[in-house]
Structure 1
Amino acid sequence: MEEAASDPHEPSRDGARVIRRAVALLREVSASRGQGAKLTALAEAAGLPQPTAHRLLSVMLREGLLERDEATRAFRLGPLLYEFGLAATPRVDIRRFCAPSLDRLAASIGDTAYLNCRSGADALCLDRREGGADVRPMPVEVGNRRPLGMGSGALAVLASLPSEEVDAVLAHNAGRYRRYGMTPERVRASVEATRARGFAVTSGRVVARFRGVAVAIGNGVGGIPVALSVIATEDRLDVRRIEKVVLLLQREERSLRSILGAEPSISQKGFAT
Structure 2
Amino acid sequence: MSTANDELEGKHGVQSLEVGMSILRAMATGRRSMMLKDIAQAAGMPPSKAHRYLVSLIRSGLVEQDRLTSRYDLGPFALNLGLVALDRVDRIRLGLLAINDLRDLTNETVALSVWSEGGPVVVRWERPRRPITVNVVTGTSLSLLRSAGGRVFAAWLPERQTEALIGRELDSGRTPAGVRSMDDARALLAQVRDAGLAILTGDYFARGVEAAAAPVFNFKNEITMAIAIVGVEGSMDLSPGGATLAALRRAADDLSRRLGVSPAQD
TM norm structure 2: 0.56
User: Runs in 1 of length 4+ with deviation above 6 angstroms?
Assistant: 220-224
Aligned-partner Cα distance in 2 for 1:221–1:115? 20
Q: Does 1:208 align with 2:207?
A: yes
1:254, CA displacement in angstroms?
1.8
- Residue 198 of structure 2 aligns to which amino acid in structure 1? A
Q: Does 1:151 align with 2:140?
A: no
Q: Does 1:95 align with 2:120?
A: no
- The CA deviation string for residues 66-115 of structure 1, in whole angstroms up to 9 with x for no partner, is xxxxxxxxxxxxxxxxxxxxxxxxx9744312111111111111110000
Residue 185 of structure 2: aligned partner = 187
Aligned-partner Cα distance in 2 for 1:96–1:129? 14
Q: Indicate conservation of the 8 Å contact 2:221/2:261, yes or no.
A: no
The within-5 A match list for 1:72-83 is none
Q: 2:124 aligns with which of 122, 127, 138?
A: 127
Q: 1:199 aligns with which of 182, 197, 200?
A: 197
Residue 246 of structure 1: aligned partner = 245
Q: Indicate conservation of the 8 Å contact 1:116/1:228, yes or no.
A: yes
Q: Percent identical across equivalent pairs?
A: 20
The within-5 A match list for 1:165-176 is 165-176=161-172
1:220, CA displacement in angstroms?
8.0
Look up the SS of the partner of 2:217 in the other structure: coil
1:256, CA displacement in angstroms?
1.3
Look up the SS of the partner of 1:104 in the other structure: helix
Measured at CA, do residues 187 and 120 of structure 1 come closer, stay the same or move farther in structure 2, by a change above 3 Å? farther
1:225, CA displacement in angstroms?
2.9
Residue 115 of structure 2: aligned partner = 118
Look up the SS of the partner of 2:199 in the other structure: strand
Look up the SS of the partner of 2:246 in the other structure: helix
Aligned-partner Cα distance in 2 for 1:193–1:261? 26
Higher Rg of the two aligned structures: 2
Residue 11 of structure 2: aligned partner = none
Look up the SS of the partner of 1:207 in the other structure: coil
Q: Which runs of 5+ in 1 are unaligned?
A: 1-90, 264-273
Q: Indicate conservation of the 8 Å contact 1:217/1:227, yes or no.
A: yes
